[in-house]
A and B are shown apart, each in its own frame.
Chain A
């Protein structure tokens, strides 16, 4: 795909080119910014994950165990808010995307390196504001901040919504940076149809970030104005409309679901192809379905509101549009499975995570069909079925893809290989723990168990206990991931430039890369999935 001389020259890597704390804090290198994002998002993943374990442990019995109702409500709010705003949204695009996007494009950096650093610091300010609510201690609204409840409860709501508001700016700036980078900085020869699918996914994500996030900002800003200036916007006591808040909120937050999952799709497209040595099946369909999902995601927000009191006609229209988004998603899953056909599958840790993803995401996608169906959603809405569905998409989808991506690109990030056996054990523990935790919750949901209950009817106890034990196994798996990756830094084998023999450009330079990524601008002459093993003489379909 390109000339291969880059990694032969001896030049210090981006990790060693400059030294000292300041060289990190004021860096404009996308790789270093990506790693700082990675450290920050991993930290918040740990915090919010520990909160989740606390919640599941409280739910081990139907009665109150070690948390009061108020504590439980604060803990689930923080779990959701931190996971969404400080972990999942920035995890793949801002952390992993920052690192790999310019490398995959054959560029020296993103289009606006200083803006990139600014968005990291804006993220840090947002994180501090959200964490401050921990100290103020009265945020118990759930991550959705529904009115008028959020108006009637403690003052930490303003700080938390300000935090989410500020985090949005970071997200917008990253999105803007990526869009410009993809348009203007592709290596010579890299046509749109030769871009790796990871880039397509990050590009579609960036479009949603730019277009949807301002709506969240406006909504949260209105919420803050209502609370501080007592102007009636959403509060019925002052002539406002609480359902309007839900429209505004989901107008952002539904597309945001795709901000969270599309980058995961990108990672899976890379992993499945590279580790099965096969050209991706249906490149165009996968790329276009990312864009189609990005567009349709803007017009399905009302499916969060079938029982909210919005008009029945609106419910019918939103249900129809929701089914329209299911088709491009199904196309992706089929294409990934078809990619395995005729391959030579290497069972590396990233590949195991890729296969776990296909299992969990397929369940996440299929159960979404239940919830898009109007009458069935009336029964399942706000029950554990919904909890299970979105965790299958967000954890079974995004987080599993993120973990696979970490193992896949770790050699590139740090120039060290991880221990394969430990990696595979982590994948197995995550798979068992995750399915035990959340598969049971579908049953709880169809039995009517509502969300956000700290105590529940005795008939739900057995399933809750299975789920709680599963969550402990999942936690063990995630700590194994952490251990494996940290050990790799300490005493992992040195990674070659291209341990997976991949074709895309990030592997055509040293591991870890030099500060300016490439000695010479690479030239692209073909597809990023044109592996040497592919038997061109077989003459099948092309």
Chain B
């Protein structure tokens, strides 16, 4: 349940290629065959374009009007030619269809021994959950920002089981050439075997509202022997040595994506801002009012719909069972520190 939405310029993944003409890195088992087909398509359509447009240019030059009295050809049709230019493209189209179909079937058939990772899409962040780990995987990116992190071992099949908590999202790793919509109320799957070490960007490619462009993540391919340690490091959210409670609280604030909806000053986002919140008297939708003390903040995180501030709609999910007491204490301390 830990993640963060991240402005694209802060994601910090290295550029996937040096020039726009280049293909992306072939970082998964699916990429190589797909690139082969992509190159074939480009060659065949490129040659077709040159033939069609080249012929057009030739005719444009050759049959330019010379005088008003020009006579023109009585040609109206040619059965053999028309048959040829219907049949030959049809043959190429069938080659593309079959190749694309075979790879598509492979994309849809994860091996039985795949590593399973659970992915949740939500406005506007990804959550990667590893079996037996208490928090979702994240990593620090540029300017101290925190991004969701998918750690996968090189050379082993990984299957992502994906669902959405709100609207349709789509999970896309360009370097792996995989994409699948993430739909509320059902599970969809993506599988791959990473073949190249490194960090690559993950995009949301189904429009999902305000921060769609910032619904990003990092996929990190590591050596199989480092996999366990990397997962453990990415799925730990504890107060570090020499870190103040407020500093840890700020990490918690980002890691649980509180900032998707709450600003650190007093301004409104989806929900109220946190600046100057502590100790303030809040007017509630039912007409009563309450002082924003530790217990009110705690309740608002664990049971968000118990008290709704006037002018807002009840739409915050509960974090009960996801955030532990140490993290909660730190978060409250952080909110108290915001003036």
**Cβ–Cβ contact B16 & A447, under 8 A:** yes
Partner of A279, one of B66, B76, B78, B82: B76
Complex Cα distance, B207 from A153, in Å, reads 13
Complex Cα distance, B107 from A542, in Å, reads 51
**Cβ–Cβ contact A285 & B82, under 8 A:** yes
**Cβ–Cβ contact A450 & B64, under 8 A:** no
What distance in Å separates the Cβ of A325 from its nearest Cβ neighbour in chain B?
Answer: 10
- Are A541 and B100 also in contact (CB < 8 A) when A148-B168, A237-B184, A458-B9 are? no
A500 interface hit (Cβ, 8 Å): no
Complex Cα distance, B67 from A263, in Å, reads 32
- Interface residues in A245-280 by Cβ distance below 8 A to B read 276-280
**Cβ–Cβ contact A338 & B72, under 8 A:** no
Complex Cα distance, B183 from A242, in Å, reads 8
Partner of A455, one of B65, B73, B168, B213: B213
A531 interface hit (Cβ, 8 Å): yes
Binds A, one of B84-92, B133-141, B143-151, B228-236: B84-92
**Cβ–Cβ contact B77 & A541, under 8 A:** yes
Complex Cα distance, B286 from A198, in Å, reads 65
Complex Cα distance, B212 from A73, in Å, reads 9
Complex Cα distance, B283 from A528, in Å, reads 77
Find the A residue at minimum CB distance from B13. Answer: A457
A330 neighbours in B (Cβ, 8 Å) = 85-86, 89
Q: Which of B78, B96, B201 has the most CB of A within 10 A?
A: B96
Partner of A344, one of B52, B65, B203: B65
B71 interface hit (Cβ, 8 Å): yes
Complex Cα distance, B52 from A539, in Å, reads 27
Q: Which of A62, A152, A447 has the most CB of B within 10 A?
A: A447
Find the B residue at minimum CB distance from A463. Answer: B20
Complex Cα distance, B72 from A536, in Å, reads 9
Binds A, one of B171-179, B292-300, B319-327: B171-179
In the complex, per-residue mask of B52-80: 1 if CB is within 8 Å of any chain A CB, else 0: 11011001100111100011111111100
**Cβ–Cβ contact B63 & A453, under 8 A:** no
B207 neighbours in A (Cβ, 8 Å) = 73, 142, 146, 149, 451-452
**Cβ–Cβ contact B72 & A376, under 8 A:** no
A375 neighbours in B (Cβ, 8 Å) = 30, 33-34, 37, 99-101, 103-104, 107, 177
**Cβ–Cβ contact B183 & A243, under 8 A:** yes
- Are A277 and B24 also in contact (CB < 8 A) when A285-B77, A366-B45 are? no
Binds B, one of A90-98, A218-226, A312-320: A312-320
Complex Cα distance, B299 from A299, in Å, reads 53
**Cβ–Cβ contact B49 & A366, under 8 A:** yes
Partner of A73, one of B66, B77, B184, B210: B210
B242 interface hit (Cβ, 8 Å): no
A443 interface hit (Cβ, 8 Å): yes
**Cβ–Cβ contact A148 & B64, under 8 A:** no
A15 interface hit (Cβ, 8 Å): no
A369 interface hit (Cβ, 8 Å): yes
B15 interface hit (Cβ, 8 Å): yes
What distance in Å separates the Cβ of A77 from its nearest Cβ neighbour in chain B?
Answer: 9
How many Cβ-Cβ contacts under 8 Å join chain A to chain B?
A: 303
**Cβ–Cβ contact A374 & B104, under 8 A:** yes
**Cβ–Cβ contact A455 & B8, under 8 A:** yes
Q: Which of B16, B73, B181, B185 has the most CB of A within 10 A?
A: B73
**Cβ–Cβ contact B33 & A331, under 8 A:** no
Complex Cα distance, B142 from A458, in Å, reads 13
**Cβ–Cβ contact B205 & A383, under 8 A:** yes
- Are A345 and B60 also in contact (CB < 8 A) when A459-B15, A533-B70 are? yes
Complex Cα distance, B174 from A374, in Å, reads 16
**Cβ–Cβ contact A542 & B74, under 8 A:** yes
Partner of A448, one of B9, B108, B174, B186: B174
Q: Which of B11, B15, B70, B208 has the most CB of A within 10 A?
A: B70
Complex Cα distance, B6 from A456, in Å, reads 11
A440 neighbours in B (Cβ, 8 Å) = 20
**Cβ–Cβ contact B174 & A379, under 8 A:** yes
- Are A378 and B33 also in contact (CB < 8 A) when A242-B168, A450-B172 are? no
Partner of A457, one of B8, B64, B76, B90: B8
A327 neighbours in B (Cβ, 8 Å) = 86, 89-90, 93
Indicate the size class of the contact surface on chain A: 35 or more
A69 neighbours in B (Cβ, 8 Å) = 210-214
Find the B residue at minimum CB distance from A243. Answer: B183
**Cβ–Cβ contact B167 & A379, under 8 A:** no
**Cβ–Cβ contact B94 & A343, under 8 A:** no
**Cβ–Cβ contact A309 & B82, under 8 A:** no
B330 interface hit (Cβ, 8 Å): no
B203 neighbours in A (Cβ, 8 Å) = 448, 450
**Cβ–Cβ contact B20 & A443, under 8 A:** yes
Complex Cα distance, B101 from A320, in Å, reads 9
A334 neighbours in B (Cβ, 8 Å) = 52, 82, 85
**Cβ–Cβ contact A345 & B213, under 8 A:** no
Partner of A282, one of B82, B93, B209: B82
B306 interface hit (Cβ, 8 Å): no
B81 neighbours in A (Cβ, 8 Å) = 338
Complex Cα distance, B97 from A370, in Å, reads 10
- Are A281 and B213 also in contact (CB < 8 A) when A366-B48, A450-B204 are? no
A63 interface hit (Cβ, 8 Å): yes
B204 neighbours in A (Cβ, 8 Å) = 450
What distance in Å separates the Cβ of A219 from its nearest Cβ neighbour in chain B?
Answer: 16
**Cβ–Cβ contact A309 & B180, under 8 A:** yes
**Cβ–Cβ contact A340 & B63, under 8 A:** yes
- Are A281 and B70 also in contact (CB < 8 A) when A242-B184, A320-B97, A448-B203 are? no
Binds B, one of A99-107, A357-365, A430-438: A357-365
Complex Cα distance, B65 from A358, in Å, reads 20
- Are A362 and B49 also in contact (CB < 8 A) when A378-B107, A453-B8 are? yes
B73 neighbours in A (Cβ, 8 Å) = 278, 341-343, 534-535, 538, 540
B23 interface hit (Cβ, 8 Å): yes
B41 interface hit (Cβ, 8 Å): yes
B52 neighbours in A (Cβ, 8 Å) = 333-334, 337, 358, 362
Complex Cα distance, B49 from A359, in Å, reads 8
A335 neighbours in B (Cβ, 8 Å) = 82
14 A-B residue pairs with Cβ-Cβ distance under 8 Å, sorted by A, are A148-B184, A242-B168, A277-B72, A282-B82, A319-B97, A337-B52, A337-B59, A344-B66, A369-B96, A373-B100, A378-B179, A448-B172, A463-B20, A540-B74
- Sort A-B residue pairs by CB-CB distance and give the 9 closest, nearest first: A342-B73, A448-B174, A236-B185, A344-B70, A375-B103, A374-B104, A373-B100, A535-B71, A453-B213
